């Protein structure tokens, strides 16, 4: 298959889903957003504790992340709900959404004279968009349009030995055979493998940038005065046999394969349109890294897990793969693809890659993932500094 | 025949990952590159955890994927369970940072 069936957007992107998103710009709009999303079929709430009393770098990062979801390839249109005048401006966000040709609406709780009127207006706007979205047909699109997000979650020692190999196989199949792109993240999980990773950069500038960002994370962690061992590996990683951050990193990097790295982009920034593999600079915190990759425009995410994980994203469907036979049995609803036969059975990693690739083909054409069927989703924007 | 459930990633590794539960006292054969090595298991080891496949001295590098994953904090005889109790990381060591540079955070 060199084509898939997707939803065309005016900005040239093609979605694999057709969501109406309702975006909160500040914590004080979260309840209105959640309530409206409960009422309107297939509306996705985007809520968070940020958007006010933040310093400039955090404001940019929050805005960029919210805009990324409001203009995601899988987003049909966006209703932006603001509380009052905030540093993340609702009208500005809605205007930036409209620039991509997507329907957009801006609701302000103060201007509406309270949450009841604001809820009414939000539901009205979202309902209209959801009906319009449902009338749009899927059309054939080239697979080179697709961006493959990669993350690991509750890693254990099977991750680097098995499921990450299948993930790498599938993402490079999209890049090499179909001209698509991939994106992986979690910079603190490069510790111990950063030199080899940086050698894969397409040029010296990108190579140095990878090393600089790893060093920056090490400095940020050390500046807390605490040992990273207090936070990484996580207790679930250690249960699964991972001993140090270096071991976790070396395993984690297996999922990126060994091909060239085109660039490293900021948290939540748009993943470039070119074909190839990109890095997003995010923490290892799964909800934050996945939220960032989603904001970057990845169409779907493969979560390569050892012990099983609920981690998922509402706008960017998440496909869970494990190579740990115990996990596939213990948390079946967190397992879209079980490739443990490649680790402890008679199958090989080409088979494992095929299993994942088949699932990807189905999901990009509309098949629900386990987490979509359950309505599981976590959203967490990474913050750089303190609130003010 | 090497035990397929004990996986050594690179020939220079000094640990193997157990893909089955190991019992103290059993003797296992581990494939290390083209060679085989016989190790007596010292501790019970859970699925996914590691054992030393050679003698590792206190302070020595623990090698997996052909790279350092930290240092031994005690002597680790072959066949011993290798985990957080006898290995330490070399990254993000805020606890080793110059105290004057480290941020003060009240406990």
Please name which of A174, A240, A193, A238 lies closest in space to residue A16, comparing C-alpha atoms.
A174
pLDDT at B100: 45
Could you tell me the strand order of the sheet in which A14-15 lies?
A14-15, A3-8, A139-142
Confidence grade of residue B3 (pLDDT, cut at 50, 70, 90): very high
Q: Quick check: A222 and B102 CB within 8 A? A: yes
Residue B62 reports pLDDT greater than 60: yes
pLDDT at A199: 97
Task: Give how far A147 is from chain B: nearest CA, Å.
Answer: 29
Euclidean distance between CA atoms B64 and B4, whole angstroms: 17
Burial (CB < 10 A; 0-12, 13-18, 19+), residue A338, is buried
DSSP character for A227?
Answer: B
Residue A64 reports pLDDT greater than 90: yes
Q: Closest CB to A238: pick one of B65, B82, B84.
A: B84
In chain A, residues with a C-beta closer than 8 Å to the C-beta of B7 are: 161
Task: Give how far B87 is from chain A: nearest CA, Å.
Answer: 7
Residue B33 reports pLDDT greater than 60: yes
Task: Give how far A324 is from chain B: nearest CA, Å.
Answer: 9
Q: Quick check: B91 and A343 CB within 8 A? A: no
pLDDT at A243: 94
Q: Quick check: B69 and A192 CB within 8 A? A: yes
How many contacts does A have with B, using Cβ atoms within 8 A?
A: 116
Task: Give how far B86 is from chain A: nearest CA, Å.
Answer: 9
Confidence grade of residue B52 (pLDDT, cut at 50, 70, 90): very high
Which residue on chain B is closest to A325 by alpha carbon?
B19
Q: Is B57 on the interface with A (CB under 8 A)?
A: no
pLDDT at A203: 98
Confidence grade of residue B98 (pLDDT, cut at 50, 70, 90): low
3-state helix, strand, coil in chain A (%, to 5): 45, 20, 35
| HSE-up of residue A183 (Cα within 13 Å, Cβ side) | 32
Q: Are the C-beta atoms of A324 and A158 separated by less than 8 Å?
A: yes
pLDDT at B1: 87
Q: Quick check: A227 and B93 CB within 8 A? A: yes
Q: Quick check: A229 and B50 CB within 8 A? A: no
Confidence grade of residue A100 (pLDDT, cut at 50, 70, 90): very high
Residue B72 reports pLDDT greater than 80: yes
Residue A119 reports pLDDT greater than 70: yes
Residue A223 reports pLDDT greater than 90: no
pLDDT at B102: 43
CB atoms closer than 10 angstroms to residue B104: 6
CB atoms closer than 10 angstroms to residue A176: 13
pLDDT at A274: 96
Write out pLDDT tens, residues A324-346: 999 988 899 889 999 999 999 99
Q: Quick check: B48 and A240 CB within 8 A? A: yes
State the average pLDDT over residues A194-213.
97
Indicate which of A215, A216, A225 best probes the interface with B, i.e. most B CBs within 10 Å of its own CB. A225
Q: Are the C-beta atoms of A51 and A83 separated by less than 8 Å?
A: no
Task: Give how far A378 is from chain B: nearest CA, Å.
Answer: 27
Confidence grade of residue B105 (pLDDT, cut at 50, 70, 90): very low
Confidence grade of residue A1 (pLDDT, cut at 50, 70, 90): low
Bridge pairing between strands B61-64 and B67-72? antiparallel
Residue A172 reports pLDDT greater than 90: yes
CB within 8 Å of chain A, chain B residues 72-101: 82-84, 87-97, 101
In chain A, residues with a C-beta closer than 8 Å to the C-beta of B65 are: 160, 250-251
Task: Give how far A7 is from chain B: nearest CA, Å.
Answer: 42
Reading the block at residue B29, the tokens are 């054969």
In chain B, residues with a C-beta closer than 8 Å to the C-beta of A224 are: 94, 102-103, 105
Q: How many residues comprise chain A?
A: 388
Cβ neighbours of residue A134 closer than 8 Å, sequence gap 6 or more: A18, A42
pLDDT at A145: 98
């Amino acid at each position: 298959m060199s084509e898939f069936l997707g939803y065309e957007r005016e900005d040239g992107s093609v979605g694999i889903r057709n969501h109406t998103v309702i975006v909160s710009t500040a914590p004080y709009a979260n309840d209105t957003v959640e309530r409206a999303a409960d009422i309107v079929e297939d509306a996705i709430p985007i809520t968070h504790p940020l958007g006010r009393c933040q310093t400039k770098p955090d404001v940019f990062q929050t805005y960029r992340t919210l805009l990324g979801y409001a203009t995601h390839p899988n987003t049909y249109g966006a209703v932006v709900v603001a509380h009052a005048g905030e540093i993340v401006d609702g009208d500005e966000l809605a205007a930036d959404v409209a620039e991509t040709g997507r329907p957009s609406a801006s609701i302000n709780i103060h201007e509406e004279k309270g949450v009841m009127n604001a809820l009414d207006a939000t539901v009205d706007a979202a309902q209209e968009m959801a009906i319009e979205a449902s009338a749009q047909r899927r059309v054939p699109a080239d697979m080179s349009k697709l961006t493959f997000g990669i993350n690991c979650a509750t890693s254990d020692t099977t991750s680097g030995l098995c499921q990450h190999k299948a993930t790498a196989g599938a993402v490079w199949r999209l890049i090499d055979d179909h001209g698509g792109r991939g994106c992986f993240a979690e910079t603190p999980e490069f510790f111990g493998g950063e030199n080899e990773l940086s050698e894969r950069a397409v040029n010296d500038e990108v190579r140095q940038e990878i090393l600089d960002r790893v060093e920056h994370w090490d400095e940020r962690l050390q500046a807390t005065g605490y040992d990273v061992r207090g936070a990484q590996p996580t207790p679930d990683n250690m249960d699964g046999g991972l001993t140090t951050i270096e071991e976790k990193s070396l395993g984690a990097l297996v999922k990126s394969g060994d091909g060239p790295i085109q660039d490293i982009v900021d948290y939540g920034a748009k993943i470039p349109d070119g074909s190839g593999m990109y890095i997003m600079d995010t923490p290892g915190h799964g909800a934050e890294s996945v939220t960032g990759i989603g904001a970057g425009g990845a169409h779907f995410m493969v979560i390569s897990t050892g012990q099983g994980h609920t981690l998922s994203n509402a706008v960017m469907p998440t496909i869970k793969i494990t190579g740990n036979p115990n996990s596939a049995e213990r948390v079946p609803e967190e397992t879209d693809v079980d490739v443990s036969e490649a680790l402890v059975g008679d199958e090989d990693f080409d088979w494992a890659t095929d299993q994942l690739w088949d699932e990807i083909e189905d999901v990009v054409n509309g098949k629900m993932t386990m987490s979509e069927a359950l309505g599981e989703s976590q959203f967490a924007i990474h913050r750089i500094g303190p609130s003010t | 025949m090497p035990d397929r459930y004990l996986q050594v990633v690179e020939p220079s590794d000094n640990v193997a990952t157990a893909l089955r539960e190991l019992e103290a006292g059993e003797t296992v054969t581990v494939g290390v590159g083209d060679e085989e090595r016989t190790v007596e298991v010292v501790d019970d080891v859970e699925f996914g955890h590691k054992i030393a496949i050679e003698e590792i001295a206190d302070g020595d590098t623990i090698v997996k994927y052909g790279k350092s994953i930290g240092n031994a904090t005690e002597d680790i005889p072959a066949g011993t369970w290798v985990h957080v109790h006898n290995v330490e990381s070399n990254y993000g060591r805020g606890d080793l940072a110059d105290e004057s540079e480290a941020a003060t955070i009240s406990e």
